[in-house]
Amino acid sequence: MRLHVADHPLVAHKLTVLRDKDTASPTFRLLVDELVTLLAYEATREVHVEPHEIETPVARTTGTKLADPRPLVVPILRAGLGMLEGMTRLLPTAEVGFLGMQRDETTLEAITYANRLPDDLSGRQCFLLDPMLATGGTLVAAIDYLFALGARDVTAVCLLAAPEGLKVVEDAVGDRVDVKVVVAAVDERLNEKAYIVPGLGDAGDRLYGVV
Protein backbone atom coordinates (compact mmCIF):
# COMPACT_ATOMS: atom_id res chain seq x y z
CA MET A 1 0.00 0.00 0.00
CA ARG A 2 1.14 3.51 -0.77
CA LEU A 3 -0.01 6.54 1.23
CA HIS A 4 -0.09 10.10 -0.08
CA VAL A 5 -0.95 12.97 2.29
CA ALA A 6 -1.81 16.16 0.39
CA ASP A 7 0.53 18.88 1.64
CA HIS A 8 -0.97 22.13 0.37
CA PRO A 9 -2.02 25.32 2.19
CA LEU A 10 -5.40 25.40 0.44
CA VAL A 11 -6.11 21.84 1.55
CA ALA A 12 -5.15 22.73 5.13
CA HIS A 13 -7.32 25.87 5.10
CA LYS A 14 -10.42 24.15 3.73
CA LEU A 15 -9.96 21.22 6.08
CA THR A 16 -9.83 23.56 9.07
CA VAL A 17 -13.16 25.14 8.15
CA LEU A 18 -14.57 21.67 7.48
CA ARG A 19 -13.64 20.51 10.99
CA ASP A 20 -15.36 23.44 12.70
CA LYS A 21 -18.53 22.21 14.43
CA ASP A 22 -20.25 25.52 13.55
CA THR A 23 -19.81 25.04 9.79
CA ALA A 24 -23.31 24.57 8.36
CA SER A 25 -24.20 21.67 6.04
CA PRO A 26 -24.37 23.77 2.81
CA THR A 27 -20.87 25.14 3.46
CA PHE A 28 -19.67 21.69 4.54
CA ARG A 29 -20.88 20.14 1.26
CA LEU A 30 -19.21 22.88 -0.78
CA LEU A 31 -15.91 22.44 1.05
CA VAL A 32 -15.99 18.65 0.61
CA ASP A 33 -16.55 19.16 -3.10
CA GLU A 34 -13.61 21.57 -3.37
CA LEU A 35 -11.32 19.40 -1.25
CA VAL A 36 -12.03 16.28 -3.28
CA THR A 37 -11.15 18.08 -6.52
CA LEU A 38 -7.79 19.01 -4.99
CA LEU A 39 -7.25 15.44 -3.76
CA ALA A 40 -8.34 14.05 -7.13
CA TYR A 41 -5.47 15.89 -8.79
CA GLU A 42 -3.06 13.82 -6.68
CA ALA A 43 -5.09 10.61 -6.88
CA THR A 44 -5.08 10.64 -10.70
CA ARG A 45 -1.36 11.29 -11.08
CA GLU A 46 -0.91 7.74 -12.41
CA VAL A 47 -4.13 7.49 -14.41
CA HIS A 48 -3.64 5.43 -17.58
CA VAL A 49 -3.12 7.48 -20.75
CA GLU A 50 -2.19 6.87 -24.36
CA PRO A 51 -0.84 9.01 -27.23
CA HIS A 52 -3.45 10.88 -29.26
CA GLU A 53 -2.88 12.78 -32.50
CA ILE A 54 -4.70 16.07 -33.02
CA GLU A 55 -4.65 19.01 -35.40
CA THR A 56 -4.08 22.39 -33.76
CA PRO A 57 -4.81 25.63 -35.65
CA VAL A 58 -1.08 25.69 -36.46
CA ALA A 59 0.15 22.12 -36.94
CA ARG A 60 -0.43 18.46 -36.31
CA THR A 61 0.86 17.15 -32.98
CA THR A 62 0.68 14.17 -30.66
CA GLY A 63 -0.88 14.75 -27.27
CA THR A 64 -2.29 12.53 -24.55
CA LYS A 65 -5.75 11.17 -23.76
CA LEU A 66 -7.19 8.87 -21.14
CA ALA A 67 -6.78 5.24 -22.14
CA ASP A 68 -9.51 2.63 -22.37
CA PRO A 69 -11.08 1.11 -20.39
CA ARG A 70 -12.30 4.25 -18.69
CA PRO A 71 -11.58 4.75 -14.97
CA LEU A 72 -14.32 3.76 -12.54
CA VAL A 73 -15.26 6.06 -9.65
CA VAL A 74 -16.96 4.25 -6.75
CA PRO A 75 -18.42 6.30 -3.88
CA ILE A 76 -19.16 4.27 -0.77
CA LEU A 77 -22.72 5.15 0.25
CA ARG A 78 -23.89 7.35 1.79
CA ALA A 79 -21.13 9.76 2.77
CA GLY A 80 -19.09 9.00 -0.35
CA LEU A 81 -21.82 10.56 -2.48
CA GLY A 82 -20.76 13.96 -1.19
CA MET A 83 -17.38 13.40 -2.84
CA LEU A 84 -18.63 12.25 -6.23
CA GLU A 85 -19.05 15.57 -8.02
CA GLY A 86 -15.64 16.81 -6.93
CA MET A 87 -14.03 13.68 -8.35
CA THR A 88 -15.96 13.52 -11.63
CA ARG A 89 -15.27 17.21 -12.23
CA LEU A 90 -11.67 16.20 -12.82
CA LEU A 91 -12.58 12.87 -14.49
CA PRO A 92 -15.76 13.67 -16.45
CA THR A 93 -15.38 10.66 -18.77
CA ALA A 94 -15.11 8.16 -15.92
CA GLU A 95 -17.87 5.67 -15.26
CA VAL A 96 -19.53 5.66 -11.84
CA GLY A 97 -20.42 2.64 -9.73
CA PHE A 98 -21.90 2.53 -6.24
CA LEU A 99 -21.09 0.41 -3.22
CA GLY A 100 -23.35 0.54 -0.17
CA MET A 101 -21.42 -0.28 2.98
CA GLN A 102 -21.95 0.62 6.60
CA ARG A 103 -20.18 -0.04 9.85
CA ASP A 104 -21.88 -2.20 12.45
CA GLU A 105 -21.62 0.02 15.53
CA THR A 106 -21.33 -3.04 17.79
CA THR A 107 -18.77 -5.16 15.96
CA LEU A 108 -17.28 -2.26 13.94
CA GLU A 109 -17.27 -4.60 10.91
CA ALA A 110 -18.36 -3.45 7.45
CA ILE A 111 -21.68 -4.69 6.08
CA THR A 112 -22.39 -4.53 2.32
CA TYR A 113 -26.01 -3.69 1.56
CA ALA A 114 -25.90 -2.41 -2.05
CA ASN A 115 -23.82 -2.97 -5.17
CA ARG A 116 -24.03 -1.20 -8.53
CA LEU A 117 -20.79 -2.23 -10.20
CA PRO A 118 -19.81 -3.87 -13.49
CA ASP A 119 -19.48 -7.65 -13.23
CA ASP A 120 -15.93 -7.55 -14.58
CA LEU A 121 -13.40 -4.91 -13.51
CA SER A 122 -10.40 -6.49 -15.23
CA GLY A 123 -7.97 -3.81 -16.38
CA ARG A 124 -9.95 -1.00 -14.75
CA GLN A 125 -8.46 1.69 -12.57
CA CYS A 126 -10.86 2.18 -9.66
CA PHE A 127 -11.16 5.19 -7.36
CA LEU A 128 -12.94 4.57 -4.06
CA LEU A 129 -14.48 7.58 -2.33
CA ASP A 130 -15.05 7.56 1.44
CA PRO A 131 -14.60 10.67 3.62
CA MET A 132 -13.31 8.94 6.75
CA LEU A 133 -10.77 6.14 7.04
CA ALA A 134 -11.39 5.32 10.71
CA THR A 135 -11.14 1.64 11.70
CA GLY A 136 -10.21 0.66 8.14
CA GLY A 137 -12.74 -2.18 8.02
CA THR A 138 -15.02 -0.56 5.43
CA LEU A 139 -12.16 0.34 3.13
CA VAL A 140 -10.59 -3.13 3.33
CA ALA A 141 -13.97 -4.72 2.55
CA ALA A 142 -14.46 -2.36 -0.41
CA ILE A 143 -10.98 -3.04 -1.79
CA ASP A 144 -11.52 -6.80 -1.44
CA TYR A 145 -14.87 -6.43 -3.22
CA LEU A 146 -13.28 -4.65 -6.20
CA PHE A 147 -10.37 -7.11 -6.38
CA ALA A 148 -12.83 -10.02 -6.36
CA LEU A 149 -14.38 -8.51 -9.51
CA GLY A 150 -11.00 -8.38 -11.26
CA ALA A 151 -9.71 -4.89 -10.38
CA ARG A 152 -5.96 -4.69 -9.88
CA ASP A 153 -5.45 -0.94 -9.45
CA VAL A 154 -7.40 0.74 -6.63
CA THR A 155 -6.94 4.24 -5.22
CA ALA A 156 -8.91 5.31 -2.14
CA VAL A 157 -9.60 9.03 -1.75
CA CYS A 158 -10.42 10.06 1.84
CA LEU A 159 -10.60 13.38 3.65
CA LEU A 160 -9.19 12.10 6.93
CA ALA A 161 -7.49 8.95 8.17
CA ALA A 162 -6.63 7.56 11.58
CA PRO A 163 -3.29 5.77 12.12
CA GLU A 164 -5.15 2.69 13.37
CA GLY A 165 -7.22 2.49 10.19
CA LEU A 166 -4.19 2.95 7.95
CA LYS A 167 -2.45 0.09 9.72
CA VAL A 168 -5.48 -2.18 9.23
CA VAL A 169 -5.52 -1.39 5.50
CA GLU A 170 -1.76 -1.84 5.19
CA ASP A 171 -1.86 -5.17 7.02
CA ALA A 172 -4.71 -6.35 4.77
CA VAL A 173 -3.23 -5.37 1.40
CA GLY A 174 0.40 -5.89 2.30
CA ASP A 175 3.03 -4.51 -0.06
CA ARG A 176 0.77 -4.42 -3.13
CA VAL A 177 1.79 -1.22 -4.91
CA ASP A 178 -1.48 -1.25 -6.84
CA VAL A 179 -3.36 0.00 -3.76
CA LYS A 180 -2.97 3.68 -2.95
CA VAL A 181 -4.59 5.87 -0.28
CA VAL A 182 -4.80 9.64 -0.80
CA VAL A 183 -5.86 11.77 2.18
CA ALA A 184 -5.97 15.42 3.20
CA ALA A 185 -4.60 14.62 6.67
CA VAL A 186 -3.73 11.81 9.06
CA ASP A 187 -5.20 12.61 12.49
CA GLU A 188 -4.07 11.62 15.99
CA ARG A 189 -6.10 8.53 16.86
CA LEU A 190 -9.48 6.86 17.26
CA ASN A 191 -11.55 7.37 20.40
CA GLU A 192 -13.45 4.66 22.29
CA LYS A 193 -16.36 4.98 19.85
CA ALA A 194 -14.03 4.55 16.84
CA TYR A 195 -14.39 8.18 15.77
CA ILE A 196 -11.34 9.99 14.40
CA VAL A 197 -9.80 12.53 16.80
CA PRO A 198 -9.80 15.50 16.29
CA GLY A 199 -11.69 14.54 13.14
CA LEU A 200 -14.80 16.34 11.99
CA GLY A 201 -17.61 14.21 13.40
CA ASP A 202 -19.88 11.99 11.33
CA ALA A 203 -19.28 13.04 7.72
CA GLY A 204 -22.59 11.62 6.49
CA ASP A 205 -24.61 13.46 9.13
CA ARG A 206 -22.78 16.71 8.47
CA LEU A 207 -23.32 16.37 4.73
CA TYR A 208 -26.96 15.32 4.75
CA GLY A 209 -28.30 15.67 8.28
CA VAL A 210 -29.07 13.05 10.92
CA VAL A 211 -31.26 10.17 9.70
Catalytic-residue membership of 205: yes
Check whether 20 is labelled as a binding-site residue: no
Q: Does residue 134 have a known ligand-binding role?
A: yes
134-165 burial: b if 16+ Cβ within 10 Å, else e: bbbbbbbbbbebbbebebebbbbbbbbbbeeb
Tell me if 78 is assigned to a ligand binding site.
yes
Residue of 103, 112, 152, 176 marked active site: 103
Q: Is 103 annotated as a binding residue?
A: yes
Q: Is 137 annotated as a binding residue?
A: yes
DSSP secondary structure of 104-162: -TTT--EEEEEEE--S--TT-EEEEE-SEESSSHHHHHHHHHHHHTT--EEEEEEEEE-
202 has catalytic annotation = yes
Q: Is 196 annotated as a binding residue?
A: yes
Q: Which position among 7, 20, 104, 202 bears the catalytic label?
A: 202
Residue 203 in marked binding region: yes
C-alpha angle 123-125-129 in degrees, rounded to nearest 5: 145
Which residues are catalytic, by number? 103, 107, 202, 205
Binding-site residues sit at 78, 103, 130-138, 196, 201-203
Q: Which residues are annotated as a binding site for 5-phospho-alpha-D-ribose 1-diphosphate?
A: 78, 103, 130-138, 202
> Per the annotation, where are the binding residues for uracil?
196, 201-203
